[in-house]
Amino acid sequence: MNGLNVRHGKLVAGMLLGLALTVVAGCGGQKPKVTGKVSYKGTPLVNGTVTFHPKAGDRAAGATIQADGTYRIDDAPLGDVTITVDTPRPAATPPMPPGTPGADRMGGPMAPKKSVPVPPQYKDPAASGLTYTVKPGEQTYDIDLK
C-alpha cells in the first residue's frame, strides 16, 4: 500500500508541475500588441509615427500612422511607457509639367494627402505628457492629442 501511495503522489505532483509550467509559458508567450487611432483635436492623423518609450531604459518601439489614423505596435515594451507622436511638416510641392503622372490638367500636382501638424511638445518624450501601461497580449489605446 505504501508503494502505491508514493507512486500516486509522484504522479499527481508531476501533473501539477506540468500544468503550472504550461500556464506560465502561456502567459509569458503573449507579446504585447497595441493598436489604436491617433487624432489631433478630433481629426485623425494621416501620417507620421507613434513611439512608445519605456521608463526602464529598454528599447523603444514604434509604428507608422496609416492614412486612416490607425497604428499597430506588434512588440511593444511592457510596463509604463511615455508616448511620442511625430508628423511630417507639409512640404511645398513645385508644379509639374502637364502630362506628368500625378499632375492635373493645369500642370499642378494632384492633391497629396495633407499632413496634420501637431505641436512640437508631442515629439519630445520629456514634454509629451502622454503615458500608458502596456500589458501582455493585444490591447487598444487611442491617442487624442489636444
Pair type for strands 33-40 and 138-140: parallel
Q: Which amino acid would we find at residue 131?
A: T
Say which residue, 8 or 115, is predicted with more confidence: 115
Report how far residue 125's alpha carbon sits from residue 130's, in angstroms, rounded to the nearest whole number.
8
- Reported pTM: 0.68
pLDDT in tens, 19-44: 444 444 445 568 999 999 999 999 99
The answer to whether residue 11 scores a pLDDT higher than 70 is no
Give the pLDDT of residue 7: 54
Q: How many Cα neighbours within 13 Å face the side chain of 26? A: 6
| Number of Cβ within a 10 Å radius of residue 136 | 14
- Return the closest-CA partner of residue 115 out of 43, 62, 37: 43
